[in-house]
Amino acid sequence: MISHGFWKAQGLMVAAELGIADHLADGPATVSLLAEKCACDAGALYRLLRALASDGFFEETESGAFRNTDDSEVLRSDHPQSVRALGMMVRRLEYPTWVHLLDSIKTGKTAFNEIHGKGLFDYLAEHPEEADIFDQAMTAVHGQESPAIASAYDFSATTSLMDVGGGNGTMLKVILETHPHLQGILFDLPHVVERARPTLTASPVGQRVAYQPGSFFDPIPGSPDAMIMRQIIHDWTDEPSIQILRNCREAVAPEGKVLVVEQVVPDGNTPHPVKWLDVDMLVYVNGQERTEQEYRQLFEKAGLALERIISAGRFEILEGKPAADG
């Protein structure tokens, strides 16, 4: 039943939080040993693992021990496509917020803000452990998408690229690897830039990255050839989104490009995951997803002309340039 789908989701998130797949990395283990390592009740843990094993997550052996399966391997912290941090983030931050969906629908207010008294990003700035998990979760979500973005857009005429709100620098790193002629600038809040700096500096593209701390709600220094934002605008309602875009328009080189990487909401009843993501933005972040027409209106109000939309995997790259009358 769709109404009980949260049973399995919660079970997987708890397994992620407990690090069960990590504890099984070297082979099968008994429930008593797992319970000891996880500080859990052995009987309760067995019931959870039995349920997860019935759906292919973990496998119970004839001796009563459990081992990983292909599906549970991705819950390991060291797996190349690990989703452990994503499960932890959803369990700690996102799922408790969705319990208040009804309140958001009735009031139009963001449940997370009402619960915590502040927005998600202000909350993360004050909670470094959750912020680290959030960064890892975003890498899990977006890590496989960056190559498609890097390949879809022609950066041959670009020499400097600023990643606005670039977080841990994952996308910027992939773009610089794909386009060796580019110089990159990571722009984000000071504490975010400092979290990203060690790993990005130590990477093969580290010598081609400059770091610019700041807020995209304030004037942005520099004059890069292009500025790119991945899923930044969808975090905000119209007024702050226009301010971000306007600041980019004023910062980018006169003939430069402002690239907005988002999922565009299709019209009508066309099924698309972005329509549910839009509800998540309402409940969790105080943002929204938008149609092509809504993006055109945002760009116009910010003094940008939306020139074209380029497909990049499950995303679209909306290419804007400073409007002549902007």
- Kindly state whether residues 315 and 170 are assigned to the same domain: yes
pLDDT band at 35 (very low <50, low <70, confident <90, very high): very high
Distance from C-alpha of 170 to C-alpha of 176, rounded to nearest angstrom: 10
Would you say residue 79 lies in a domain? no
Q: pLDDT over 90 for what percent of the chain? A: 88
At residue 140, the pLDDT reads 81
- Residue 103 and residue 56 share a domain: no
Do 158 and 226 lie in one domain? The reply is yes
Q: Are residues 9 and 100 in the same domain?
A: no
pTM of structure:
0.86
Q: Provide the pLDDT confidence category of residue 326 given band limits of 50, 70 and 90.
A: low
Same domain, 132 and 147: no
Domain of 44, CATH number, reads 1.10.10.10
In angstroms, rounded to a whole number, what is the distance separating the alpha carbons of residues 39 and 23? Answer: 13
4 an active-site residue? no
Cα separation of the two ends of the chain:
52
Contacts of 180 (CB under 8 A, 6+ apart): none
Beta-bridged to residue 315, according to DSSP, are: 312
Q: Are residues 171 and 290 in the same domain?
A: yes
Residues 153 and 132 occupy one common structural domain:
no
pLDDT tens column, 109-152 = 999 999 999 999 899 989 999 999 998 898 887 777 899 999 99
Residue 131 domain boundaries: 84-136
Q: How many domains does the chain have?
A: 3
Helix 42-53 × helix 5-18 angle, to 10°: 120
SS (H, E, C) 89-126: HHHHHHHHHHCCHHHHHHHCCCHHHHHHCCCHHHHHHH
- CB distance 18 to 4 below 8 Å: no
- The catalytic position among 179, 181, 234, 272 is 234
